[in-house]
Structure 1
Amino acid sequence: MTSKNCDNKLFLLDAYALIFRAYYAFIKNPRVNSKGINTSAVFGFTNTLFDMMKKEKPTHLAVVFDVGETFRHKEYKEYKANREETPEAIRIAVPYIHKILEALGIPCLWKEGYEADDVIGTLAKKAEKEGFTTYMMTSDKDYAQLVSDHIFVFKPASRGNDIEIWDVEKVKEKFEVQSPSQIIDFLGMMGDSVDNIPGIPGVGEKTAKQFIKEYGSMENLFAHSSELKGKMKERIEENQELGLLSKKLATICTEVPIDFNYESYTVDNPNIDEVIKIFEDLEFRNMIQNFQKTYNIIAENEKAEYVKGVKPSASAQISLFEDEVVQQAEKSDRNTLSNTEHFYQLADTPMAIKLLLDKLHKQKIVCFDTETTSTDSMLAELVGISFSYEKGKGYYIPFNPKDKENTQKLIEIVQPFFENESILKVGQNLKYDCKVLRKYGLEVKGTLFDTMIAHYLINPDGRHGMDILAETELNYQPVSIESLIGKKGKNQNLFSMVPLEEQKEYAVEDSDITLQLKNKFEPRLAKDNLKKLFDDIEMPLMRVLTDMEWEGINLDISALKEMSKELVQDILRLEKEIYSLAGDEFNINSPKQLGDIIFDKMKLGDKPKKTKSGQYATGEDVLLKLAHKHKIIDLLLEYRQLQKLKSTYVDALPDEVNSFTGRVHTTFAQTVAATGRLASNNPNLQNIPIRTERGQEVRKAFIAKDAHHKIISADYSQIELRIIAAMSKDPTMISSFKRGEDFHKSTAAKVFHIPLDQVSREQRSHAKTVNFGIIYGVSAFGLSEQTGLSRSESKSLIDAYYEAYPVLKQYIGNQVNIARKNGYVETLLGRRRYLPDIHSHNSIVRSHAERNAVNAPIQGTAADVIKIAMIRIHDLLKEKNFQTRLLLQVHDELVFDAPNEEVKEISQLIKTTMENALKIEVPLVVDVGVGQNWLEAH
């Protein structure tokens, strides 16, 4: 069996190397579906596979797995003995990956007694003889020893870097060897901690490379050991047997008894039905589209050409089985509108609308949803409103956005329903609907139930969009907006042009599904003791956020324009200074040119780091380490800082001003952060700079309504430290806060064993870092990086901290135990954070979950406290008819706009309400400031 064809392109994938890589890529934010399955490894592996197939278009493909112990374990029983047990999430993932590969028609290979490296090495060498070009897809450096003119290492993209392909020259350059085969000697000499290959004691990477240059091989090194001196000579002569064993362990076997059946490795048409079924089970909605793109779906406008025998354009990459993809997808066992019994009616006449309203007023629970011309609620015009109060039934009232007079008449007809406080109103992302209706003078009154928020409390790490909830909770595939308005689409304005019948089906389906979701989620909220949190905090907060977003904040555009001019001048001045110090003009924004200047011309770095593309790395982390070497580095950092300030904030913020209101209206996301914290976007006003003097100037542009108003800023002082003191019940911490001491200074006195009045500024700073670091599980290494202390000094500081606060240390241990027992931790008010990796045998994964076990209840309780304060202040302002308005929530700070005559009374009301939002053993302290702008107030 021969295939002497240079066009044959074989990819051999090292399964576990790619699976582990995928899993750890999501380690800080794992993908967990509605069934609680961690799908990170499956998702990442499959995505990497499809990405490679689309870009590289292999003709042949196989995935190789490790199985059990190998011949190396017999040679050396400690081989890989230091490896952590495989994380549960990966053990769960592997069967799914096998199923996906089987459905795709991609062979899974392995051989008892051998590793994936050996199987891949053997097949690569056999393929080379058959005229194949082989790419070994892996992140493992050991494969470099196999590289030849027709065998390459293919390293997938990671951390923003592009793929790497190692050919012979690349291997020689990277490892400083004369031939890839010398990689075996290199690995044998220095050993490998990952595989627990001992190597030669005292020989590291640098020494191994030097020995390879001088002696070429391990055997030749041993033959000339007499040329060596001192301790190294002794080590080499005493450990020859260990060195040869290490070399043997590091050698990839290319004689595995496995046939190269290249015909079975061809990339064929997959079992589409099975692939889609697996992806649906895993809740990989977008992966289905990725799958179709990978296997080249025929474009509609090119099908006819193909049928006529005309070869399609290369860019289309057409496949013969697009129709099968569509047909098989339609055969999915997921319910759709077409195969589900339903009764959706159009109410488009005055009589029909009147009859509908009569029905609605008789209901206790009604779900509604608005259809609009835009996803921006401040710009959106009504296209229609749908209603549903019974599964499978619903109604749709269409509006004509261009007919303002008729729209207003319809608004007056539906107004009594929205103001009827006896009807519980259900919706998905109700804040959006409430803001849209407010534009027409409609206030949605009565009790509300938002399914998006309900699901967020039930599964804070999940996705909360209606489509994904319908699929995962109801096994239902909703009609997509793209199918109605075309892929150009996502232009929602086109929805008003969709025929009424199709509008009705799409719109009422949303209300119908949302009502069904409400009926699923409500008992789960009760079961998990989340109903009070939902009813008393999250739903009332939704109304508060609606008012805040509607109000917006005033922006001094002229001040920002002036600031922009000043920044231009400062940036030009910095450019001149940089050019002068560099002795040359160059593009400061070009990493390549900058790297050439500071490393080649100015020689500022020893062994400067390079990127994958071969140019010098010039990121902020690199420049900071060089700051002490030359004044130019500080200027470069300042230059970048000012450029970012100008482009991201000073020049961008004026574009965010609403043309109708003249104010900036951010959107607060209530269902994003798993801890319960709010997020801000479009624009993000929680990231307005505050740490630098120039950054603070941006806050100066956020101003009061007019000369008769002031900005009030109220900020919790050290709320997370106060909460952990209260939750841990550490008497020393509690006492310090009750006495009103400077807590960081107090901590410094305890850990450095000195009187309070002798604490230096630096010691207080170190204590502050530890105080906040403990909440986030800081390690000695992490503390060392933040403070500049040595690791041993940092460890001593952490040990001294726990000696000072022993009850806190016990509390941290208890929190981890609670997480192990329950699988989740809770805030003081019952908000949950699920920690599926708390039992992992992998120390990295487990420690991440353990840190969250401590941190999540603290952050979450802080979030709950400020939410309670927001609700109470909002209610008091309305109840007492104050004209003060709450505008922003930024972490632990609230920002208000108040008439001058209310400032004094309101400031006290805000402070009192915030400090009494939640009664805990430690007093909550709020600092209140007043000014004509945000900076003055803060």
Structure 2
Amino acid sequence: MKKLFLLDAMALIYRAHFAFAKTPRITSTGLNTSAVFGFTNTLLEVLRKENPSHLGVAFDTAKPTFRHTRFEAYKAQRQQQPEDITIAIPYVKRLCEALCIPVLIMEGYEADDIIGTLAKKASATGGYEVYMMTPDKDYGQLVEEHVKLYKPAFMGKDVEIMGPKEVCERWGISNVDQVVDLLGLMGDAVDNIPGIPGIGEKTAVKLIAEYGSVENLIANVDQLKGKMAENVRAFAEQGLLSKELALIEQNVPIEFDEKALELCEPNRETLSALLDELEFRTLRKRLLGEEPAPAETPKTAKSKAPTAQMDLFGAAPVAAIATSEVAGQWETTTVRRTVHDTVHDYQLIDTPELRKSLAHYLNLQDAICFDTETTALSAIEADLIGMSFSYRVGEAFYVPVPDNREAALVILEDFRSVFENEAVEKIAQNIKYDLTVLANYGVEVKGKLYDTMLAHYLIEPEKRHNMDILAETYLNYTPVAIEELIGKKGKNQGNMRDVDMEKIKEYAAEDADITLQLKEVLNPVLQQNPKLVSLFETVEMPLARVLAEVEAEGVRLDVGFLKELSQQLDVDLRDTQQRAWELAGQEFNIASPKQLGEILFEKLHLDPKAKKTKTGQYMTGEDVLLGLESKHEIVRKILDFRELQKLKSTYVDALPALLSPRTGRLHTSFNQAVTATGRLSSTNPNLQNIPIRTPRGREIRKAFIARDEDHVILSADYSQIELRIMAAFSGDASMTEAFNQGLDVHRATASKVFHVPLEEVTADMRRKAKTVNFGIIYGVSAFGLSQQVEVSRTEAKELIDNYFREFPAVKEYMDESMAKVRETGYAETILGRRRYLPNINSGNQTDRGYAERNAINAPIQGTAADIMKIAMVKVQDFIRREKLKSRMILTVHDELVFDVHKSELDYLREHVNELMVHALPLSVKMETGMGVGQNWLEAH
């Protein structure tokens, strides 16, 4: 039988648009092509997988239909169609026409009516298997033996094909005609079909199972009881109307034209121009058969041999499928396969002769990809299991390393010349980890470095960057999972040594091969932006080496002090709990939201309008408690209890457990590819979150101590770096002058916004001005400022207005920043670090406001991150070059921390300040605050 596919265009367009809602595709001209791109991929997937002989795409009419005439409120409550979808619809129609696919529209009817009519007419000929392609459940009423509902794959769910049996099972009905009865009873909120009040899906299914139809239910209303009977009587006509509205028309005056629906050759010239306009580069190659031969651009994962490919329209071979993009700027194409069924060459290198031969060939290459297999996720604690190398796509080599350290060192010695060869570029995924592991064995990796994780981080900062995700996204391939080897999930790979060597070889060699392919995919994209190339090569890659060294150095902890602090916190917790019980007049579990809510809102009646969770429990989060703090002393005690408990469990008791068994020191992990702003983050422990605003929180820093009596801790902290960057970016004369003359910028701001001489600025004025200064950077509103400085909204608005009057250049910078992002779709730092903000033109005020705030702040915060990273690289180079005994041991926010040999203190302090201040020259002078002590708290 012939195969006819009828596509519900609007349903598929909407689905595609919202699938890309968080990361929309934006062309260089600012056009959002998400809906067109998603629809096109869905269409091509059908053509490739289902190979239909006939196909048509049905659209709704813009004019009212017979349903609107019958029921004026039909679809009245639908949100206004997103502007991007309105723009996309003509493009989808043009695409269909270019592909020689009929566009089916008839005024007065919806797409489902057109599809229903054509489906029935085609089925009646006896020569067609018809598939109605849509995610819309209403189409279930149309299915029959040769008419199926085809729900496309979406968000990890496979394609679902539903015939009469599947539809009846889905709804719990006896025949598909009853779908419309169900819809008549329960209504449809999307289309504003009212149904009968009080009847949801479960009740509707039960009623139709018993009575068979809406009409029969109404006729037997006397058998119903209570509210159900009342509603059916009162809304019987509404139920019948709803059924009528939900019924898909099958007699639309449209002919079933077999010839018109038959697939034919696309108009290549029209299609080519359209795809260029949409900037669908890979789709253009795919559809028009212009993909270069695999030998020229090898992107098929691990495959040396060309893969058989099918041309959708009989043109030259094209790539099978898979696209990804960066804010609409680029795409990649590859072929999915598994390690078991694709030609590749992975070799085991397990003899001295083979190792020497491999090392010889690796030293002849311009670039090699390598990966280490280890026993642990912590690079400091990890032992080598093996190493893999690749320098040509589809080929990789695995070198096993024995458990015995002396034997392992012998093997590593065979490859020392490779790792230390400065003429050979080293490629890896998360290269910092590999640098640390090899350093544990006394091997330094020299030469140019290339980390695919960091390359992707610069290209798509808000996406995930691990190798499996990148392989699936850009190579359309799922790598072998560690669980397939070790048989279970776990945080370490210690039992990898027990796995069959052939399996380890495949697993490890695949990592190197895939990483090499990712480099070949990502690097051309990176090269399109010279600023990003510079940022990658002069900042991010050198920093990876620096962070590996800082992490390996670690920091000494005063475990005895932490033990004493833990005991003191126990006392404080008991005292705080006891006081809370006294204030409540009874004992209760402070850590129980349920019991706490009952005390606060049922016994003490602190808020008669207290909100509850979906489970009926009172909400007792920090934001709720802060709003109640002025109403009762118990609230402050609860907040104190939570803070003490968090300090004890998260830091005081947890830090000693994080000490390395090998070094006895704390080795935090610095994350280079997590925050979208470019800022570093850290884990185990998260140094960024160590509290500093409370005395107890600050005490934790006292536990970070110098390595011995010959060393001290030096802290170097940028002073007001983001405000200085704002001054430089805006060019505001007053602010620039304040910084360059070393004035107190908050006092200077207060003098201007409160219109008083500098000497008459009070502490409260300065506090408010400080809040405004920092709030402006983050786009603070009058409401937000009023809460922060505890003034009325009117006074807060006046503060902001005064600020912009006195600092007009700042307001101009903010407006220009938002305008630039509206035009380009992204915010950018001086060095070219980008933050994509697709919602800057959104009709949703909340989404748009968030994007506007980031348009102002991202260049500032990102530039601050770049400055700190440059400073770290320069300072570490200085320490290496001068062969100092002192070491950089931590970085937190805008601060660098050093373990300094006392004999080098003055020398290092002078040069660290100089290097930090001049890391990235701006028109505004940078300053650092520097302190020295036996522990971090004293130094800070």
Q: TM-score, with normalisation over the residues of structure 2?
A: 0.70
Match in the other structure for 2:862: 860
Correspondences of 1:332-731 after superposition (within 5 Å): 334-401=336-403, 403-489=404-490, 491-529=492-530, 530-731=532-733
Match in the other structure for 2:219: none
**Contact 2:691–2:698 (CA under 8 A) maintained in structure 1:** yes
CA shift digits 1:253-296 (9 cap, x unpaired): 745433599xxxxxxxxxxxxxxxxxxx99xxxxxxxxxxxxxx
Deviation at 1:476, TM superposition (A): 3.1
Match in the other structure for 2:114: none
Correspondences of 1:38-437 after superposition (within 5 Å): 71=68, 85=82, 99-100=152-153, 103-105=159-161, 126-127=181-182, 145-147=197-199, 151=203, 254-258=242-246, 334-401=336-403, 403-437=404-438
Structure 2 SS opposite 1:677: coil
Match in the other structure for 2:925: 923
Deviation at 1:74, TM superposition (A): 8.4
CA shift digits 1:24-69 (9 cap, x unpaired): xx98xx3569999879x99xxxxxxxxxxxxxxxxxxxxxx99987
Match in the other structure for 2:734: 732
Whole-angstrom CA distance in 2 between matches of 1:633 and 1:20: 48
**Contact 1:713–1:896 (CA under 8 A) maintained in structure 2:** yes
Deviation at 1:842, TM superposition (A): 3.1
**Contact 1:838–1:850 (CA under 8 A) maintained in structure 2:** yes
**Contact 1:123–1:260 (CA under 8 A) maintained in structure 2:** no
Deviation at 1:380, TM superposition (A): 1.2
Whole-angstrom CA distance in 2 between matches of 1:124 and 1:81: 22
Match in the other structure for 1:772: 774
Deviation at 1:897, TM superposition (A): 0.6
CA shift digits 1:406-446 (9 cap, x unpaired): 21211222112111111111111111111111111111111
**Contact 2:68–2:74 (CA under 8 A) maintained in structure 1:** no
**Contact 2:184–2:241 (CA under 8 A) maintained in structure 1:** no
Match in the other structure for 2:914: 912
Whole-angstrom CA distance in 2 between matches of 1:706 and 1:627: 45
Structure 2 SS opposite 1:720: helix
Name the CA shift for 1:491/1:928 in 2 (closer, same or farther; >3 Å).
closer
Deviation at 1:679, TM superposition (A): 0.9
Match in the other structure for 1:306: none
Structure 2 SS opposite 1:375: coil
Deviation at 1:894, TM superposition (A): 0.7
CA shift digits 1:89-134 (9 cap, x unpaired): 99899988963379234799xxxxxxxxxxxxx999944999xxx7
Name the CA shift for 1:85/1:786 in 2 (closer, same or farther; >3 Å).
farther
Alignment-mate amino acid for residue 504 of structure 2? Q
Whole-angstrom CA distance in 2 between matches of 1:388 and 1:641: 51
Match in the other structure for 1:268: none
Name the CA shift for 1:138/1:630 in 2 (closer, same or farther; >3 Å).
farther
Match in the other structure for 1:59: none
Whole-angstrom CA distance in 2 between matches of 1:446 and 1:745: 50
Whole-angstrom CA distance in 2 between matches of 1:557 and 1:260: 74
**Contact 1:86–1:842 (CA under 8 A) maintained in structure 2:** no
**Contact 2:425–2:449 (CA under 8 A) maintained in structure 1:** yes
Structure 2 SS opposite 1:146: coil
Match in the other structure for 1:817: 819
Whole-angstrom CA distance in 1 between matches of 2:908 and 2:801: 45
Deviation at 1:616, TM superposition (A): 2.3
Whole-angstrom CA distance in 2 between matches of 1:696 and 1:19: 50
Whole-angstrom CA distance in 1 between matches of 2:908 and 2:667: 23
Name the CA shift for 1:561/1:125 in 2 (closer, same or farther; >3 Å).
farther
CA shift digits 1:448-486 (9 cap, x unpaired): 111111111111122212222223223333222222222
CA shift digits 1:874-917 (9 cap, x unpaired): 01111111111111111111111101121222112111111111
Between the two proteins, the alignment pairs up a number of residues equal to 729
Whole-angstrom CA distance in 1 between matches of 2:189 and 2:74: 28
Deviation at 1:773, TM superposition (A): 1.7
Name the CA shift for 1:936/1:129 in 2 (closer, same or farther; >3 Å).
same
Name the CA shift for 1:411/1:580 in 2 (closer, same or farther; >3 Å).
same
Whole-angstrom CA distance in 2 between matches of 1:695 and 1:676: 26
Deviation at 1:179, TM superposition (A): 7.4
Whole-angstrom CA distance in 1 between matches of 2:644 and 2:191: 38
Structure 1 SS opposite 2:340: helix
Alignment-mate amino acid for residue 518 of structure 2? L
Name the CA shift for 1:618/1:140 in 2 (closer, same or farther; >3 Å).
farther
CA shift digits 1:508-554 (9 cap, x unpaired): 12112212222232332221111111111111101100000000111
Alignment-mate amino acid for residue 857 of structure 1? P
Whole-angstrom CA distance in 2 between matches of 1:337 and 1:719: 50
Worse-superposed segment, 712-721 or 341-350: 341-350
Alignment-mate amino acid for residue 893 of structure 2? H
Match in the other structure for 1:289: none
Alignment-mate amino acid for residue 807 of structure 1? A
**Contact 1:481–1:490 (CA under 8 A) maintained in structure 2:** no
CA shift digits 1:748-770 (9 cap, x unpaired): 22222222222222222222222
Alignment-mate amino acid for residue 517 of structure 1? L
**Contact 2:561–2:703 (CA under 8 A) maintained in structure 1:** yes
Name the CA shift for 1:741/1:785 in 2 (closer, same or farther; >3 Å).
same
Name the CA shift for 1:889/1:259 in 2 (closer, same or farther; >3 Å).
same
Deviation at 1:927, TM superposition (A): 0.2
Whole-angstrom CA distance in 2 between matches of 1:129 and 1:85: 28
Alignment-mate amino acid for residue 828 of structure 1? I
Alignment-mate amino acid for residue 159 of structure 2? A
Match in the other structure for 2:934: 932
Deviation at 1:820, TM superposition (A): 2.4
Whole-angstrom CA distance in 2 between matches of 1:612 and 1:88: 34
Match in the other structure for 2:755: 753
Whole-angstrom CA distance in 1 between matches of 2:794 and 2:933: 46
Q: Does 1:792 align with 2:794?
A: yes
Whole-angstrom CA distance in 1 between matches of 2:470 and 2:501: 26
Identity of aligned residues (%): 47
Whole-angstrom CA distance in 2 between matches of 1:123 and 1:850: 50
Whole-angstrom CA distance in 2 between matches of 1:360 and 1:34: 41
Worse-superposed segment, 791-800 or 142-151: 142-151
Worse-superposed segment, 381-390 or 583-592: 583-592
Whole-angstrom CA distance in 2 between matches of 1:103 and 1:493: 39
Structure 2 SS opposite 1:627: helix
Alignment-mate amino acid for residue 485 of structure 2? L
Note the residue ranges of structure 2 that are not aligned, 5 or more in a row: 1-10, 39-59, 93-132, 137-150, 165-176, 206-225, 250-281, 284-321, 323-333
Whole-angstrom CA distance in 2 between matches of 1:620 and 1:649: 20
Alignment-mate amino acid for residue 104 of structure 1? E
**Contact 1:34–1:459 (CA under 8 A) maintained in structure 2:** no
Whole-angstrom CA distance in 2 between matches of 1:505 and 1:21: 39
Match in the other structure for 2:852: 850
Whole-angstrom CA distance in 2 between matches of 1:536 and 1:21: 38
Deviation at 1:666, TM superposition (A): 0.7
Q: CA RMSD in A?
A: 4.2
Name the CA shift for 1:659/1:144 in 2 (closer, same or farther; >3 Å).
farther
